[in-house]
Amino acid sequence: MASIDWSGYRSTSYDELMADGGAPRPHAADLVQHLSKLSEAEVNELKTTAEIAIQVMGITFTVYSDAGMIDRAWPFDIIPRIIPAAEWRRAEAGLEQRVRALNLFIDDLYHDQRIVKDGVFPAELLSESVNFRPQCVGISPPKGIWAHICGSDLVRDKDGTLYVLEDNLRIPSGVSYMLENRNVSKRVLPELFEGGRILPVDDYPAQLYDMLAAMSPRQEAEPRIVVMTPGIFNSAYFEHAFLAQQMGVELVEGSDLIVGSDDKVYMRTIDGLSQVDVIYRRVDDLFIDPEAFNPDSVLGVRGLIRAWRAGNVALCNAPGAGVADDKVVYAFVPKIIRYYLGEDALIPNVPSYLCMVDAEREYVLANLDKLVVKPANESGGYGMLVGPHSTEAQRREFAARIKANPRNYMAQPTLTLSTTPTLCEDGLGARHLDLRPFILSAGDHTYVTTGGLTRVALVKGSLVVNSSQGGGSKDTWIVEGGED
């Protein structure tokens, strides 16, 4: 007897795999049919295979807690999330459009600020931005690209509409887990990859390398590229090491690099100093150069911004790109797209309320029990209020925070996020999820991952998908054929 009871599966939202009435969507029919034939013992064996693979490959993430840093095995569900290729191509075009406009926006803010002078983007919003870096004013990165790597989070509402929930332009993380999810999925469900309908994702490291190489100021020579990490105690260190290994480049810390009197960056090696052309930096802006930013930083390289300004090294992502990585700025992205590209956004934003606007703030304060309230610059699911799941005390606390610093908060309706079947302790359950695709920009070429990192809220009814908040992950399949 099969162990997965699809007949009892129900979702109160749009489901990625199952249509109303309990039948699988056309693009998910092969998967559902395959899983339906498995016995309970076979399903448990697949789950065990996935767990062992994760342990053997050393796929972990770090959680910060009162007890210190805790390394945990990556939480993975063997049932993938599936999206038809035709739908994904539309999303891909929307993501390319969005990142193109955001790069123009960032470049404008550090030069002429036309969008501010034309009254499209509020001057007070820029003046109070914690991510605007005056040290970057006047710098022109190669090809005008500031956000070389972007991770934009996508969600689908209960009516099936796809929205952009936020853009991650500072130091977006998670792509290594997208790649490792696929490796685990191939071990667990190899039969379903034989037909070639599932589009590959394993070209990302090569695409990342090519993008970084295209930024090199020394185009006549093979570039020296490094991944710069804060070190082993950083929560994303697994990803830093993974990407360096996959690209075949050096993983370095700030102490491994030095800026010479010629304003060029060099790496210390056993053979002496070797010039570095491109730094894929995974260190926050304020810590990358004690000469330009935090003078107490031991993570960065003194003079790095000076070398970058001189055009002797490329920094990816560029310092200052985070000015557009702000949940309040997010609300202006449709206007930003219209201003720079003369186009309507192909993927809509989630409707948003800005607490810096008097009327919108009053609405938010009166409806805290219905809204999701987010601080402008937190990440990882921290610091936000999910109204329907909050207590009266929490709402009072957030009301006080909003009144004290309205610029720092925005709110959105509580979307009923789409679901997908997930193997839970009590059987098959519908769990909410999101998707983080990654977009690489090289000026004349933009690459979007085939799918991305699907994160799933493992707690029943929860909308918080972050692994640091108890979420898990699934492989994401973009499949040809079987369109809805």
Catalogue the E-assigned strands of 308-408. 314-316, 353-354, 371-375, 385-386
Cα 57 to Cα 182: distance, rounded to the nearest angstrom:
13
Model pLDDT, residue 468: 60
pTM: 0.93
Looking at the 3D structure of the chain, how many domains does it have?
A: 1
Determine, yes or no, domain membership for 403: yes
Q: Is 409 part of any domain?
A: yes
Which pLDDT does position 1 carry in this prediction? Answer: 41
Cα dist from 51 to 39, 78, 294, whole Å = 19, 10, 42
**Is residue 259 one of the residues assigned to a domain?**
no
By C-alpha distance, which of 393, 412, 449, 429 is closest to 177? Answer: 449
Characterize the bridge pairing of strands 438-441 and 149-156: antiparallel
Note the pLDDT tens digit of each residue in 390-407.
999 999 999 999 999 998
Residue 393 lies in a domain: yes
Assigned domain for 357 exists:
yes
Question: What is the reported pLDDT for 22?
Answer: 83
Q: Is residue 149 domain-resident? A: no
pLDDT of residue 61: 62
Residues of the chain with pLDDT under 70: 1-2, 60-73, 378-382, 466-470, 482-484
Does residue 228 belong to any structural domain of this protein?
Answer: no
DSSP letters, 440-462, are EE-SS-EEE-SS-EEEEE-STT-
With a CB cutoff of 8 Å and minimum separation 6, the contacts of 384 are: 372, 373, 374, 375, 378
Helices 237-247 and 204-214 meet at what angle, rounded to 10? 80
Q: State the pLDDT at residue 165.
A: 93
Tell me how far apart the alpha carbons of residues 123 and 186 are, in angstroms, rounded to a whole number: 50
Q: Would you give the distance in Å from CA 301 to the centre of its chain?
A: 26
Supply the CATH number for residue 397's domain: 3.30.1490.270
C-alpha to C-alpha distance for 22 and 28, rounded to whole angstroms: 12
> Could you count the other beta carbons within 10 Å of the beta carbon of residue 221?
9
The answer to whether residue 408 sits within a structural domain is yes
Q: Are strands 371-375 and 409-413 parallel, antiparallel or unpaired?
A: antiparallel
8 Å CB contact between 154 and 401: no
Domain limits for position 396: 353-413
Note the pLDDT of residue 69: 55
Pairing of strands 225-228, 250-252: parallel
How high is the pLDDT of residue 272?
94
